[in-house]
């Protein structure tokens, strides 16, 4: 175990030694020297050293890979690799240079958002495993708000501008809008400001709950207020 406090001595490679060099080279060769998360391909001329290619071991700390384990290795550029090692201080803030979304055809082990935090929908607070099931609302005036597909559809249905949305690969507005009924009508209590919009109510029950004065009651604040009012009323009436 490496307890060296100096960041430059921390683990920045997923293996070392001559055997690792051979395995690493085989993985790079198989992946056509292309980052499997973002598609960056090493140029012939020595390019930006910060964006060099590395080989990630998806099995983590389970022992150094041999040639027989080639299928658990994946080629990634340095910024994308940094997103896979969020606790390694050797990468510092390099992950910020990686794209928010992976390529749509990235292998599952690297089909992740830039940070783990971004796997939680900022409207309904649901956790989503695959980045290909997420969208982001990126308004012109700044900010990045990650959303599950249903919530992204809900915002599009509520009139948000499709030009402000991003997904892994091509944006399909109609497909996202068709997911909207799976989103809650009301955002979660702690949803982020710009993505707090209500989904337009669809069913008769939703319209009853959200298009009539009942909407002042059917929410955490309304229910608390109602509870207190009933309590006060009962205490007067009973005693």
Residue closer to Zn ion by CB (options 139, 184) is 184
**Residue list 114-133, contact with Zn ion (CB under 5 A):** 121, 123-124
**Residue list 62-81, contact with Zn ion (CB under 5 A):** 77, 80
Number of residues that bind Zn ion (CB under 5 A): 13
Residue closer to Zn ion by CB (options 116, 233) is 116
First to last CA, the chain: 69
Question: For residues 236 and 42, what is the distance between their CA atoms, to the nearest angstrom?
Answer: 77
Judging by DSSP bridges, how do beta strands 145-148 and 134-137 pair with one another?
Answer: antiparallel
Using CB under 5 A as the binding rule, whether residue 40 contacts Zn ion is answered as yes
Contacting range for Zn ion; rule: CB under 5 A; set: 8-16, 165-173, 192-200, 221-229: 8-16
Contacting range for Zn ion; rule: CB under 5 A; set: 34-42, 89-97, 101-109, 132-140: 34-42
Residue closer to Zn ion by CB (options 37, 186) is 37
Question: For residues 122 and 126, what is the distance between their CA atoms, to the nearest angstrom?
Answer: 8
Structure tokens at 33: 């020297």
Answer for which of 27, 31, 56, 113 binds Zn ion (CB under 5 A) is 56
Using CB under 5 A as the binding rule, whether residue 31 contacts Zn ion is answered as no
- 62, with CB counted inside 10 A (0-12, 13-18, 19+), is exposed
Using CB under 5 A as the binding rule, whether residue 149 contacts Zn ion is answered as no
The DSSP annotation for 99-150 comes to: -SSPPTT--GGG---SSGGGGB-TTT--B-S-GGGEEEE--TTS--EEEEHH
Task: Report in angstroms the alpha-carbon separations of 233 from 95, 177, 215, 226.
Answer: 57, 45, 22, 10
- Closest distance of CB 18 from Zn ion, Å: 19
Q: CA angle, 85 as apex, 120 and 135 as ends, to 5°?
A: 30
- Closest distance of CB 226 from Zn ion, Å: 27
Q: Which spans of this chain sit near Zn ion (rule: CB under 5 A)? A: 14, 35, 37-38, 40, 56, 77, 80, 121, 123-124, 148, 151
């Amino acid at each position: 175990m490496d307890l060296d406090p100096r960041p430059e001595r921390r683990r920045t490679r997923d293996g070392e030694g001559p055997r690792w060099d051979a395995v690493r080279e085989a993985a790079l060769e198989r992946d056509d020297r292309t980052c499997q998360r973002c598609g960056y391909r090493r140029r012939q001329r020595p390019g930006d050293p910060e964006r060099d290619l590395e080989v990630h071991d998806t099995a983590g700390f389970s022992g150094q890979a041999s040639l027989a384990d080639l299928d658990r290795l994946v080629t990634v550029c340095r910024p994308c690799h940094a997103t896979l090692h969020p606790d390694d201080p050797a990468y510092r803030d390099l992950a910020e240079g990686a794209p928010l979304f992976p390529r749509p055809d990235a292998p599952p082990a690297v089909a992740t958002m830039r940070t783990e935090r971004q796997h939680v929908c900022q409207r309904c607070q649901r956790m989503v495993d695959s980045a290909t099931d997420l969208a982001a609302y990126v308004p012109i005036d700044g900010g990045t708000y990650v959303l599950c597909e249903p919530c992204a559809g809900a915002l599009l249905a509520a009139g948000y501008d499709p030009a402000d949305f991003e997904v892994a690969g091509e944006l399909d507005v109609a497909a996202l809008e068709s997911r909207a009924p799976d989103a809650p009508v009301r955002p979660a209590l702690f949803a982020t400001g710009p993505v707090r919009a209500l989904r337009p109510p669809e069913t008769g029950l939703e319209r009853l709950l959200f298009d009539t004065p009942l909407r002042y009651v059917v929410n955490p604040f309304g229910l608390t207020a109602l509870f207190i009012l009933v309590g006060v009323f009962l205490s007067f009436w009973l005693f």
